[in-house]
Structure 1
């Protein structure tokens, strides 16, 4: 599973031109049909139908689904919605209040938070390492519950990314960058990360 840029037409052009690399072996990805379409729900009442592109590596023959940075793997809600819920819970808001604020079911919000909480330490480590690599110093953590610490590490790393590549990442939100860096797997059973550079984040 590979997370790529926001513009589907741009991704299609890059895919056909052989500019996208396999995350497994680094080989060239080529078009290979489409994955099942699904409805994605954004902030408020915004919704759109997503038909993810499939690609196959010319080197190792592995297949990948190309997701835009606006969505996480196997989630019907946009990463902006899920991220805002995690941020609100990290600040002390209850899941019920967050659900009402976002117009989502309480069980849905609890599911996001529960999955994130179960890997909060891993998330904190991933984004703390990224912040240190880019800034050269250890960011000050939240020193609170695991979810709050993980969200604080994300915030520090995303600020470091913006400081390093300000002009290049202005079109992406914090949570879209998180989605790109984790290849859409932030709430998946296993979190993946890739090389952190503008080609990976913005391709």
Structure 2
């Protein structure tokens, strides 16, 4: 089944909503406040945050490599307060790096770009460190 580019595997909410929750958590906002701001159940938001936190280091490495590979003059993000915040910074940094090469990417959110880059598996149960492009020979 093909997913639209704004959808994450096994998630009912769009990438921008989930990304807003991840960015808020990286900024130090609590789960109950995030849930209230987004109008989502606390357990749903807690599930997003736990899933992302469980693979924060893998996500950070993946998007840092993307940041360096895609950027015209890349500058890897600095160290944040937590591994969770480091991973969020890498996602946003990769988006900025991609916009330096392909300016139209700047018309979408970092979370929509992250959804597209990962094929929708950003919060999937199994998150491979490498994606496969089947259109190449």
TM superposition score category, shorter chain reference:
0.7 to 0.9
* Pick aligned residue for 2:78 from 101, 117, 141: 141
Q: SS where residue 66 of structure 1 aligns?
A: coil
Number of matched pairs: 131
Find the counterpart in structure 2 of residue 53 from structure 1: none
Deviation track 1:137-186 (CA, whole Å, cap 9, x = no partner) reads 4513233211100000011100011111003x244321111001110000
Find the counterpart in structure 2 of residue 68 from structure 1: 4
Q: Which moved more, 1:69-78 or 1:112-121?
A: 69-78
Find the counterpart in structure 1 of residue 65 from structure 2: 129
1:69 deviates by 1.2
Against the structure 1 CA distance between its residues 163 and 130, is the aligned structure 2 distance closer, same or farther, given a 3 Å change threshold? same
Find the counterpart in structure 1 of residue 39 from structure 2: 103
Cα distance between partner residues in 2 of 1:138 and 1:131: 8
Greater share of helix residues, 1 or 2?
2
Find the counterpart in structure 2 of residue 21 from structure 1: none
Deviation track 1:77-113 (CA, whole Å, cap 9, x = no partner) reads 1111100000000000000000000011111110000
Find the counterpart in structure 1 of residue 127 from structure 2: 191
1:126 deviates by 0.2
Q: TM-score, normalised by structure 1?
A: 0.61
Q: TM-score, normalised by structure 2?
A: 0.88
1:71 deviates by 0.8
Paired residues of 2:74 and 2:97 also in contact (CA < 8 A): no
- Please list, as runs of the form range in 1=range in 2, the aligned pairs for 1:7-156 lying within 5 A after superposition: 65-135=1-71, 137-156=74-93
Unaligned runs of 5+ in 2: none
Find the counterpart in structure 1 of residue 101 from structure 2: 164
Larger radius of gyration between Structure 1 and Structure 2 = 1
Cα distance between partner residues in 2 of 1:132 and 1:162: 12
* Pick aligned residue for 1:177 from 107, 113, 133: 113
